């Protein structure tokens, strides 16, 4: 298995200034004789400017396809991060709006699968209650939406000593249910979003229904990211014996909002295969060898050793 760690700024000027570096990456891709599919996991610094954000995402998706990726993962809030509640709501769209239409066209044109990690989707009662879903959308290489998972655990946290005060439920509707893992070119992908990472029940449910890869597109705060990001991702990988893919936001988005970064890919043994760092937009390319999932589960059959659900509820009866 090979891992390529790369930092890409989101301007064509920056990319043009590094022709030798780009050539080296292409050579590494061509030199790989592994039959395993490649996932591209992206890191962004979005702003309220939706057009600029789409341009940055498109550039990364184009690069990923050029380097052999069959599926590209974008982080939570890939479409935008607003500077206020009012702006966040006003910029939101439905699934049939312009933003998702453009990504569907991009997937179809490049014949690549997309994981769109957190879309500001207008709720079904938008005209009456003006609230949104935080929606993780998977689009196949024909441009079709094959799964929409709406974030079920909302980030309502007050940490005054860390300077954190966020109440996602003030304008976001919790999703009604989990979604079955999706069969993709890189394996069966189970969908989560950001704060869902802190709830192992979710990942276990996805694993029980066949997930080989868990994905947590995120926009972690700097304080919580530094404290918990990597250890939580590695824990989810180890306990479920799955690959974990976590595309992330990085840097300053607005005057009041910054993200931790460190887009990560972790294997079923808990080894970090790629890390985009905590400073710039970028992308990591990783070959996904599902044989590592099966061998890890065979050698340490954790799921076979798990007791029935009644056993774990036995304390409730005491």
Query: In angstroms, rounded to a whole number, what is the distance separating the alpha carbons of residues 76 and 5?
Result: 20
Instruction: Say what the pLDDT of residue 168 is.
Output: 87
pLDDT higher for 1 or 174? 174
Task: Assess whether pLDDT exceeds 80 at residue 20.
Answer: no
Q: What is the mean pLDDT of the chain?
A: 89
Catalytic residues: 76, 151, 194
Chain segment 54-103, per-residue pLDDT in tens: 999 999 999 999 999 999 999 999 999 999 999 999 999 999 999 999 99
Q: What is the pLDDT of residue 25?
A: 36
DSSP 30: H
Q: Alpha-carbon torsion 220, 181, 264, 17, what sign? A: negative
Residue 31's H or E segment, with its range, is helix 19-31
- Reported as a single tens digit per residue, the pLDDT across 247-302 is 999 999 999 899 999 999 999 999 999 999 999 999 999 999 999 999 999 999 99
Domains of the chain in sequence order: 3-317 (3.60.110.10)
Starting at the edge strand found earlier in the chain, the sheet holding 187-191 runs 182-184, 187-191, 213-215, 243-246, 264-266, 272-275
Q: Round to whole Å and give the CA distance between 285 and 30.
A: 13
> Which residues face 87 on adjacent strands?
none
């Amino acid at each position: 298995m090979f891992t390529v760690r790369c930092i890409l700024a989101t301007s064509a000027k920056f990319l043009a200034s590094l022709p030798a570096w780009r050539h080296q990456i292409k050579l590494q891709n061509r030199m790989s004789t592994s039959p395993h599919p490649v996932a591209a996991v992206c890191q962004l610094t979005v702003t309220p400017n939706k057009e600029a954000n789409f341009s940055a995402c498109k550039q990364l998706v184009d690069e990923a396809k050029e380097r052999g990726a069959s599926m590209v993962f974008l982080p939570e809030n890939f479409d935008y991060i607003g500077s206020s509640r009012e702006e966040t709501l006003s910029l939101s769209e439905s699934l049939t709006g312009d933003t998702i239409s453009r990504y569907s066209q991009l997937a179809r044109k490049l014949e690549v699968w997309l994981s769109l990690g957190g879309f500001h989707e207008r709720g079904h009662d938008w005209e009456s209650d003006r609230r949104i879903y935080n929606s993780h959308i998977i689009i196949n290489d024909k441009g079709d939406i094959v799964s929409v998972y709406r974030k079920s655990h909302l980030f309502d946290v007050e940490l005054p000593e860390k300077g954190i005060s966020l109440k996602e439920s003030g304008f976001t509707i919790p999703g009604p249910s989990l979604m079955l893992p999706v069969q993709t070119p890189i394996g069966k992908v189970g969908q989560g979003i950001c704060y869902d990472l802190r709830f192992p029940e979710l990942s276990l449910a996805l694993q029980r229904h066949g997930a080989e890869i868990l994905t947590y597109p995120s926009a972690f705060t700097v304080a919580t990211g530094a404290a918990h990001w990597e250890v939580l991702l590695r824990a989810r990988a180890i306990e479920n014996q799955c690959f974990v893919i976590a595309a992330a936001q990085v840097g300053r988005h607005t005057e009041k909002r910054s993200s931790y970064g460190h887009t990560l890919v972790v294997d079923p043994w808990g080894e970090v295969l790629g890390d985009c760092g905590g400073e710039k937009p970028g992308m990591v390319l990783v070959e996904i060898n599902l044989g590592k999932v099966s061998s890890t589960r065979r050698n340490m059959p954790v799921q076979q050793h798990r007791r029935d659900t009644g056993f774990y509820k036995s304390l409730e009866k005491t």
